[in-house]
Amino acid sequence: MDSAETTKHLSRELDAYAHWFVAPDPAVGGHFLALTLLAECGDTARVAREVTAVFLRAAGAGDLVDDAQLVVSELVANVVNHTVPDRHLARPGSCRRIDVTFKKYPKWVFMGVSDEDSTPPLLPVGDTFPAALVGELSEAVLPDSGRGLLIAQRLATSVWWSPEEQGGKTVWCRFDLDQPGACSV
């Protein structure tokens, strides 16, 4: 599907389901987008991936789509799997909210995934096994969880989190864009 078709497909879905909401900001030339999702809806990660692709292509950062989709999947899945909203943000019987924010600048793309839980994510500070060794180890000794944020750290230039004023937090990633004419050293 090309970008125009995907956009059409997404707006049809938006009409069909009331569980997510996109707010582009025309003031910054379409280079800012906020997407609200609900953790309890089964297709949350898929919607996040599709909107990520539409945003990046429209913003002229199509080269980032594959990496950013994988990262957004991991961050959204973490909200679904690990968060318990702060008591004052929890609404009995209702879904947990996930806000995904995209900001494109000439040199960077920022992507933030916000949730209602003030517990920080456990960002890895080291690597259990060096990549070169993984192929030689049997599946049994490799950890089967705790890889999502490691993947995000590998694919993005930088990953961090910040607390939100009213409670909850945002996990942020920055992707540096290749500069035309820039020479690598």
**Counting contacts by CB under 6 A, is residue 148 touching ligand ADP?**
yes
Q: Which two tokens stand for residue 121?
A: 């994510």
By CB under 6 A, what part of segment 41-80 binds ligand ADP?
74, 78-79
Cβ proximity to Mg ion: between 78 and 114 the closer is 78
Is 157 among the residues that bind ligand ADP (CB under 6 A)? no
Answer yes or no whether residue 121 interacts with Mg ion by CB under 5 A: no
* Minimum CB–partner distance for residue 78 and Mg ion (Å): 4
User: Please, which residues bridge with residue 37 across strands?
Assistant: 98
Pick the piece of the chain touching ligand ADP (CB under 6 A) from 4-12, 37-45, 61-69, 81-89: 81-89
State both tokens at 118: 């003030």
Rounded to a whole number of angstroms, the minimum distance from the CB of residue 155 to Mg ion is 14
* Strand 97-104 with 108-115, pairing: antiparallel
The stretch near Mg ion (CB under 5 A) out of 71-79, 95-103, 112-120, 129-137 is 71-79
**Pair 100, 35: CB distance under 8 Å:** yes
Task: Report phi then psi at 46, rounded to 5.
Answer: -65, -45
Bridging pattern class, strands 158-163 and 169-176: antiparallel
Separation CA 35–CA 53 (nearest Å): 13
Residue count, binding to Mg ion (CB under 5 A): 2
Task: Write down the least CB distance from residue 159 to ligand ADP, Å.
Answer: 10
Q: State which residue has the least CB distance to ligand ADP.
A: 148
Strand order in the sheet with 32-38: 21-24, 32-38, 97-104, 108-115, 169-176, 158-163
117 contact choice in Mg ion, ligand ADP, none (CB below 5 to 8 Å, kind-dependent): ligand ADP
Nearest CA among 178, 176, 172 for reference residue 72: 172
Q: Which residues bind ligand ADP (CB under 6 A)?
A: 74, 78-79, 81-83, 115, 117, 119, 121-122, 145-150, 171
